[in-house]
Structure 1
Amino acid sequence: MKTPQLKPMTRHILSAVACMSLALPGASFAEDMATEASAADAGSSDTVVIAGSKIAEAARSAVSQSSLSARSAQSEVSDDFVRNFTAPAADFSQIIQMAPAMYSYSANGPGLGDTKTYFRGFADGDYSILFDGIPFQDTNSPSHHSWAFFPAPFVGGAVIDRSPGSAATIGPANFGGSINLLSRNLEANRRITGTASVSSWNTVLAGVEYESGQFGTDGASNLLFNAHDLKSDGYQTHNTQHRQAFSAKYQYAFTPDTVLTLFGSYITVHANTPNVKGATRADIALHGDNYLLSADPTKANYYAYNFYHVNTDFEYAGLSSNLGNGWKLDDKAYTYYYHNQQNYPGATVPTTTANSAANNTGTDKLNGYRTYGNILRLSQESSFGTLRTGLWSEVADTNRYQIPSNPLTWVDSALPNFHETFKTTLLQPFVEYEFALTKDLKITPGVKYSSYKQDLTQFADNGKTVGSLNGAASIGHVATYHAVLPSIDIHYMLQPNWSAYAQYATGDEIPPTNVFDVKNANVVALPSSIKSKTFQIGSVWKSDQFTLDVDAYHIKFDNAYSSTTDTAGNTSFFANGSSVTQGVEAESTIVLGKGFDLYMNATYGSAKYSDTSKWVQNAPSDTETLGLTYKQGNWNAGWFTKRVGKMYNDNGAIHEAITINPFIISNLFFNYSLPGKTGDILKNGKIQLGINNLFDKHNIVGVTPAGKTSSAPAPGDQLTLLPARSVSLSLTMDF
């Protein structure tokens, strides 16, 4: 059977990706994809052509690498890594955790909890996360939830920028950097794929995927549909998880130069996860490393009193077009929804169902928002260089509350601990111009204007937050934040396979909405956005046998906010000093031969407060990743080990209070392909054996001290530990 030609859909896909990547410095991912696809169309299976140089296996087989056109410290995580070297239940945190400087962990097992990722001393909320170039985040602060929106079956790779990026890099918190998750690539041929997986802790995943292949006139249409159901008891006692997820992606090429992309997804998560995510030293010593919740209804950690129900959806319609005369347009209209209904008990459990203040020891909590936005990008390329300009606009409506409730009945009190609604309006226009001084030397100055407006309404409560408001039902206030964010970078192609760059970039992050969570919401002086200034130099090399990316960085950034209240009860907020994070990073893939490739990355640096020279918490002194992959015949295997160096946790305002010793995360995967024959119903298949935490490490990776006056280990300290070794066996069949 003759394979259909890919030309219409290939051009269409590359056009969409190229326009999308205007949000990223250098549009590097699109350019490398385009050259690789061109080589494939030309019939080459052994080489890809990048910037005029033949690059063989090193670039093609790298699970993570930078691009020759990158203008900042970037890593592009491949779809191959997602499909072959992550756990079946994985979320996006596992996709990026082996990249330079990145680290994350889920105490309940991979993909079985709400996991946070750290890099360069920045925590979640200090950087932006995007999907196909569209930022998504909580509205009260720009944080993220790995168990919502985008599990691994929805994701086809990621582009990580460990800097604020250029002026054209949009996002609500490019203060620390950005992570752009990519949707799955569409394929030329039709298939139906069934997946079944069983893993440790009674983890079962069943999924189905339908890829239409190219269909319609000239193969102009393509559809990918994915659905899966995940159930797990979890590693931690009674921390059960149930995830149901669906996504669909459709593309239609009106012409080879104009493409429509539609994407939609829906996820629901039910979890018996507590509000306090770790057990105490005393409980762990008594019950074991995996202790979290109990089956005793007289205890506050009874699993039935602790639960989440999270619903999310995410949709966009994107139009990309080559307008002629060097002009290109990309426009995405989008909406997403987050509804997190959480219930958890207090320190004691009532003995009666009577709805009284004494019995309402639990909390009924909601964080819900609906966001609408549009991202318009225009570019124009001429002999002088490339203009990139556009506008990101977004409006979000939010409803948040915490209400005292009886955990035996979940009947709420009349007054909440707090309740607020607000509308957030965001505008980010940007412009940059990439001057082509010579064929190989380019300089790109640019500027972005960041504007936020929050219209807040806070309702009278029981005194825990704003209080009675002197008898008023609610109080309204408006908060506005503005920032001008310049950037400039220089990019030079020293050789067709060797580039270098230097960058200065600025980022910002606005205060969380809880600046108004003071008595009578009486804030007389709002703080400004906190800012970061990043200086970077780097170089990218790609040869026939290896790739190498190296960068050095120096970032000065404002710390989080502090507040003071005067004798009249007026509260003011201000940025609490500054910090500096600096260091070096390197990433490389080496072709060893006989099907073996070696992947390595390493970082060394520091993140310290400027006034005390003490370390920022959760900022390791070094990280290292060592990966060995094998591809030969029907076999595909990968072993990846991440080492995270010494770091510290704070005890309130006390820095370097708790030492977290180095730990490693090591994962091993074996994949065996089951090729079908022409005419068979079965087209292809794959059996995967995966082992996460291969060496069964149980390190303490986080400590919340029980007391605020002493940092000595105490029975009441809340601990976060690595989960035990987990094993998964998966079968995937293509029909």
Structure 2
Amino acid sequence: MLVLSVTALLYSVLPTQIAAQESGAASISGTITDSSGHAVQAATVTLKNHTTGLVQHSATDDQGHYSFTGLTAGSYDLTITAAGFRETGETNLRLSAGQAQSVPVQLKVGSLQQSVRVEAIAGNSIAGQHALSQNSLDTVEPKSEISSEYIKNFAPATTDYSEIINIAPGTISYNPNGVGLGQGTIYFRGFQDGDFNITWDGIPFNDSNNPTHHSWVFFPGLWVGSVDFDRSPGTASTIGQATYGGSINLLSPEVPSEQSIQPQVSYGSFNTLLLDGRYNSGMLGAHKNIGFSLDVHRMTSDGFETLNYIERNAGEIKVLYNASPNTTITGYSGVVHLFANAPNNSPYRAQINAYGWNYMMQNNDPTSAFYQSYNRNLVPTDFEYGAIRSSLKHGWLLDVTPYTYSYNNAQYYPNDNPNDTTGLATGPDSSTGWITEANCSIAANDANGVIPPCAVDKLNSYRKYGETSTISQTSKYGVFRAGMWYEWATSNRYQIPSDPLTNQDDAVPNFHENYWTNSYNPYVEYEWHATKKLTLIAGDKYAYYTLDFKQYADNGKVVGNLGGAPYTTSSGGFGSNLPSASANYRLTTNWSIYGQFGKGDEIPPTSVFDVTGGGQEVSKLPSPQTTSAYQGGTVVKLNRFTFDADYYVVKFQNNYISYAVTNPNNPAYDLNEYYLGPDSITQGFEGEINASLTHGFNLYANGTVGKATYTGTGVPSGLNVTDTPSYTQGLGLTYQGHGMDLGVIEKRVGDYYDDNGSYHNQVYVAPYNNVNLFLNYTFRKEDSIFNQSKISFSINNLWNSENITDVFPYNSPTPVGTSAYYATTTPSPLDQINLTAGRSFMVTFKMGIFPNRNK
């Protein structure tokens, strides 16, 4: 009923027609599809007026739609060309004054000779059009371009970007509470979250204390159009606080040129309900030069883990204004409000063994720290930008994008009984009987000179303002680029001991800090088109960051009582020069090779200032953490086959390694400790293929083989970087035809090690795999108002595999011999375990309403 009500409301506010506001102006529009009814993107559409001879060109958008407006009455020829398809057209289309004519066109595959010949247009092939992930022929770095078709048809409706990128080579991502139902975890090539950039429409975003990310409150999968996953530091023009490992570039969908309403409802396992409504205005105004896309949704779920409830309400709007033939202005705003009962810790090994794979919390024993109502998060976020892109004279192009975003995580959670040795909910030395007024009273603990031990009231809040600016010129010799990324952030963070029975906070915090960050990335680079086949790119970037701190007196967890002073201040600056050079050589029109050298950086964590008395952790402030990457690869694209592969060697330098302290008897419990680790080398091979088979069947496969080990004076060989699998494999078989989109997709992850940051090779994680199934039917009839209506069914973790993905050891490491690096750790019932979520089902009904299709 709610979906129908939303539909009715949206429809009621629409004009009954978008009439041509220029008197007598006519138009031609339509959708280009292949023989199976799928939209053909980036097809070239040409319209010729018989009388005047005027020729106009257009290209189809993400939905295969094209449009010509402001036409005079007369006779026209329409021609459509797309790589891999026969040229198709309509002749003698007659338009009368004011007529809006719909001309949908279905393309047919070219002849056998066309199907096997080399394509002259880079990157266009039938296999490429159905690819789940692929690189491009003109690339100068290893990357995976994850398509909108994959996101729409082969990912659950609740998905987030951490789940989407799992299709890429070498990547691990998981969410123990279910797909999109909590904070996702991402690793690739030995890089953990915080070691790489994530951007939204070219704007980097991350936390302010270290460059980590939050998939559950920024840019849900419903808002992601496609992903450009660059597994390299990039060129000099790649900006952000963590180009160290690479950049996951999230791209919003283009504003469609056609009006539509798309309500959607999804329901699935764990009582998961998603209600979504999207309205696309089409292009409006007298000149059809302004349009917008609006989406609102609400998601609730009990989660796979017991009582790990999540509720999200969110909305976004994107506005496109073509101010002139040379200038476009794009405005965007996305707002998310999330509530969750997510605890601060993962479940214990003993709990998993005793109560089941999905155990997390209970709601029948309020004396236990695992009582649901004591664990809660309230997280509002927003993200806004305004982008101006203007073509100037003599090949110059100006891009300016000011932006702002904020994150405010107000979290409350209890601490487990420090005398808990079993990890169980009942029995002696367990978690029960701990949360009582005798143990938790603020007044009683303060009177005894004891830090109240039962709970923590925590805030991580920041607001950022920034701008990306680029000026470029394209000439017959190549492309010159220069630009600057600047960002200013203000942050407020604290953790305060609290009584979960009364929600009363202690007067003295575990820590409380305000700090201000400035980030500067000026750069210059030149892309030289040396020959028709050879492109060389060289450039330089300087990454510079400043931090200004105000740290308040605390109970000894971080800076201490400061001798009675209310606070201490400190500041520092960090800078690194980051040159890059890369090349692409086109061996033939469908085969290229490339090579790259690049340096990436990562801003040091703010914890370098977290020492007793305040001030930085080292006497001389470090440079940003850096990597030096040497990579080379090749890309091949035929009509029915694509292949890309690369070999990489990356050296990590000045690497800070984070570790969450899980033992409540450790004075640093519940804080992240950072270790300045030895240098390391990660190297390996990555490859992926797409094949268009026959009768609508397509095959996707990828694989990686690699290793990441520490190196340096006194460092023994074979010391593994944490969370770096020995191999990964991906396999997908899809069928697309007759309105059906069917797919089986598997991800397999090899073995790797976890550790505590100071010692390594501590905990072995065995190989595991996951299989997902997708069944979709889409109603495709171009002249129907209900075109693109869809029903989807998906199964995640088809075989219900129980896989351990991470282990956070409770016991302290025991060094092996006299080694300063090797250690073993005795398993404990209090080890925290991350697991893959169990099998889940989801069904989605989506209605497509295109008001102008029946005219």
The answer for the alignment partner of 2:560 in structure 1 is: 467
Q: Kindly indicate whether residue 274 of structure 2 is the aligned counterpart of residue 235 of structure 1.
A: no
Q: Kindly indicate whether residue 286 of structure 2 is the aligned counterpart of residue 217 of structure 1.
A: yes
Deviations 1:368-408 (A, max 9, x none): 00000000011111122210110001100000000111111
The equivalent position to 2:501 in structure 1, one of 404, 408, 411, is 408
Q: Cα–Cα, structure 1 residues 560 and 53, in superposed 2: closer, same or farther, change >3 Å?
A: closer
The answer for the alignment partner of 1:337 in structure 2 is: 406
The answer for the alignment partner of 2:84 in structure 1 is: 47
Q: Percent identity?
A: 41
Q: Cα–Cα, structure 1 residues 722 and 171, in superposed 2: closer, same or farther, change >3 Å?
A: same
SS in 2 for 1:80: helix
The answer for the alignment partner of 1:594 in structure 2 is: 695
The equivalent position to 1:481 in structure 2, one of 567, 571, 574, is 574
Q: What pairs with 1:546-561 in structure 2 (closer than 5 Å)?
A: 546-558=641-653, 560-561=655-656
Q: Cα–Cα, structure 1 residues 323 and 247, in superposed 2: closer, same or farther, change >3 Å?
A: same
Question: Is the CA contact 1:391–1:429 (under 8 Å) kept in the aligned structure 2?
Answer: yes
Distance 2:280 2:726 in 1: 45
Distance 1:468 1:365 in 2: 20
The equivalent position to 1:605 in structure 2, one of 706, 712, 716, is 706
Q: What pairs with 1:16-55 in structure 2 (closer than 5 Å)?
A: 42-44=79-81, 47=84, 52=121, 55=124
SS in 1 for 2:127: helix
> Deviation of residue 245 (structure 1)?
1.0
The equivalent position to 1:4 in structure 2, one of 29, 51, 56, is 29
Deviations 1:69-124 (A, max 9, x none): 11100110001111111111111111111111111010111101101111111000
Q: Kindly indicate whether residue 811 of structure 2 is the aligned counterpart of residue 711 of structure 1.
A: no
Q: Cα–Cα, structure 1 residues 54 and 397, in superposed 2: closer, same or farther, change >3 Å?
A: closer
Q: What pairs with 1:673-692 in structure 2 (closer than 5 Å)?
A: 673-675=778-780, 678=783, 680=785, 682-692=786-796
The answer for the alignment partner of 1:381 in structure 2 is: 474
> Deviation of residue 285 (structure 1)?
1.2
> Deviation of residue 32 (structure 1)?
13
Specify the code of the residue in structure 1 equivalent to 2:349. Answer: R
SS in 1 for 2:442: coil
Q: Kindly indicate whether residue 694 of structure 2 is the aligned counterpart of residue 580 of structure 1.
A: no
> Deviation of residue 364 (structure 1)?
0.4
Distance 2:413 2:435 in 1: 13
The answer for the alignment partner of 1:662 in structure 2 is: 767
Q: Cα–Cα, structure 1 residues 553 and 652, in superposed 2: closer, same or farther, change >3 Å?
A: closer
Deviations 1:429-451 (A, max 9, x none): 00001122212112111000111
Q: Cα RMSD (Å) of the superposition?
A: 2.5
Q: What pairs with 1:43-82 in structure 2 (closer than 5 Å)?
A: 43-44=80-81, 47=84, 52=121, 55-82=124-151
SS in 1 for 2:563: helix
Which of 327-336 and 214-223 deviates more? 214-223
Give the unaligned 5+ runs of structure 2: 1-25, 33-40, 43-58, 69-77, 86-117, 418-433, 446-451, 659-673, 814-823, 850-855
Q: What pairs with 1:303-702 in structure 2 (closer than 5 Å)?
A: 303-348=372-417, 349-352=434-437, 354-356=441-443, 358=445, 361-523=454-616, 524-558=619-653, 560-561=655-656, 575-610=676-711, 611-612=715-716, 613-675=718-780, 678=783, 680=785, 682-702=786-806
Distance 1:721 1:414 in 2: 38
TM-score (norm. length: structure 2): 0.79
The equivalent position to 1:293 in structure 2, one of 361, 367, 372, is 361
Deviations 1:44-93 (A, max 9, x none): 35638975369431111111110111110011000111111111111111
Give the unaligned 5+ runs of structure 1: 8-12, 15-30, 564-572
The answer for the alignment partner of 1:733 in structure 2 is: 847
Q: Cα–Cα, structure 1 residues 46 and 507, in superposed 2: closer, same or farther, change >3 Å?
A: closer
SS in 2 for 1:462: coil
Deviations 1:306-325 (A, max 9, x none): 11111100000001111121
Which of 70-79 and 250-259 deviates more? 250-259
The equivalent position to 1:153 in structure 2, one of 213, 217, 222, is 222
SS in 1 for 2:762: strand
Deviations 1:342-386 (A, max 9, x none): 000112444227432635621000000000000001111112221
Specify the code of the residue in structure 2 equivalent to 1:4. Answer: S
SS in 2 for 1:409: coil
Question: Is the CA contact 1:360–1:413 (under 8 Å) kept in the aligned structure 2?
Answer: no
Distance 2:686 2:566 in 1: 54
Distance 1:53 1:281 in 2: 52
Q: Kindly indicate whether residue 199 of structure 2 is the aligned counterpart of residue 130 of structure 1.
A: yes
> Larger C-alpha radius of gyration, 1 or 2?
2
Specify the code of the residue in structure 1 equivalent to 2:701. Answer: M
Distance 1:676 1:498 in 2: 37
Q: Kindly indicate whether residue 159 of structure 2 is the aligned counterpart of residue 90 of structure 1.
A: yes
> Deviation of residue 707 (structure 1)?
0.4
Q: Kindly indicate whether residue 276 of structure 2 is the aligned counterpart of residue 189 of structure 1.
A: no
Q: Cα–Cα, structure 1 residues 356 and 446, in superposed 2: closer, same or farther, change >3 Å?
A: same
Specify the code of the residue in structure 2 equivalent to 1:692. Answer: N
Specify the code of the residue in structure 2 equivalent to 1:732. Answer: K
Question: Is the CA contact 2:61–2:256 (under 8 Å) kept in the aligned structure 1?
Answer: no
Distance 2:474 2:783 in 1: 46
SS in 2 for 1:593: coil
Specify the code of the residue in structure 1 equivalent to 2:811. Answer: G
Question: Is the CA contact 1:54–1:544 (under 8 Å) kept in the aligned structure 2?
Answer: no
Specify the code of the residue in structure 1 equivalent to 2:379. Answer: V
Q: Structure 1 residue runs of 4+, over 6 Å off?
A: 31-34, 36-41
SS in 1 for 2:847: strand
Question: Is the CA contact 2:481–2:525 (under 8 Å) kept in the aligned structure 1?
Answer: yes
Question: Is the CA contact 2:523–2:542 (under 8 Å) kept in the aligned structure 1?
Answer: yes
Q: Cα–Cα, structure 1 residues 3 and 103, in superposed 2: closer, same or farther, change >3 Å?
A: farther
Distance 1:37 1:532 in 2: 43
Question: Is the CA contact 2:402–2:467 (under 8 Å) kept in the aligned structure 1?
Answer: yes
SS in 1 for 2:692: strand
Q: Cα–Cα, structure 1 residues 677 and 322, in superposed 2: closer, same or farther, change >3 Å?
A: closer
Q: Cα–Cα, structure 1 residues 354 and 577, in superposed 2: closer, same or farther, change >3 Å?
A: closer
Deviations 1:443-501 (A, max 9, x none): 11100011101111000111111011111111111110011100001111111111111
Q: How many residues align?
A: 703
Question: Is the CA contact 1:221–1:253 (under 8 Å) kept in the aligned structure 2?
Answer: yes
Question: Is the CA contact 1:531–1:557 (under 8 Å) kept in the aligned structure 2?
Answer: yes
Distance 1:133 1:303 in 2: 39
TM-score (norm. length: structure 1): 0.92
Distance 1:478 1:387 in 2: 36
